[in-house]
Amino acid sequence: MDGADQAANAAHGVVAGQIAVVSYCYVFAYVSWRKAWPVALLTGWFIAGLADLALVQLANTWLVGGIVVLVSAMAIKFWPKPLTDDQTVRIPQWWETPMKAAIAGTLVATLTGVKDIIGVQSAGILASMPVILSVLAPTTVRTYGPSAVSELLRGTTKSLGGSVMFSTIVAATITVLPAPSAFALGLAGLITTDLILTWSRRNASSEVNVL
């Protein structure tokens, strides 16, 4: 397998893996208003895993990318509204920040180390799983409450559409076009998708109430 094929496979894996991030963000934000953070974490990972398992079966990168962008747009459009006027602020313990950094670093290093064993496409999928958010979201909700973690995860979801479209276009074109052309098309897709998603979330009244 040459470099272009490896890049295409890795990009396809990244695209497919983004559905897990979208699913995790929405589910964690939804559940965190109603249950304790461990329940939100486990539920988010369960739904993310199911979504990833379903989407990774699809071989067509355009179809996968389109599904992820559509789901991202719908998640943003119908993001859960707050259940309460949450103003929780908790002083973090001194060891929490080093612990978060250590856990995140270990997860990233592990994924990097298994790349040669599981293949570039599988590594791309795993690298896209919400491993860092699985550290940030629980500590954020414990420290600042569900309102803060909802904003964190919503911001993450907002940023996904453009990057997904970039990876989709690169994966689909890098084996048939020169690399600069493939990346230029990917950049154009990123900008266009971001503009569309920005327009789609202007109507804040469409947000869903999770009562």
pLDDT (tens digit per residue) in 72-115: 888 988 999 887 766 555 555 555 556 555 655 565 566 556 65
What is d(CA 30, CA 65) in angstroms, rounded to the nearest whole number? Answer: 24
101 vs 110: CA distance, rounded Å: 14
Q: Is the pLDDT of residue 125 over 80?
A: no
Closest by CA to 126, choosing from 143, 138, 113, 140, is 113
Joined together, the tokens standing for residue 105 give: 């670093």
- Kindly tell me the burial class for residue 6, based on how many C-beta atoms sit within 10 Å of its own C-beta (0-12, 13-18, 19 or more): middle
User: Residue ranges per domain, the chain?
Assistant: 3-81+93-205
Question: Which sign, positive or negative, has the C-alpha torsion 32, 34, 38, 43?
Answer: negative
pTM over 0.75? The answer is: no
The tokens of 207 are what? 């947000």
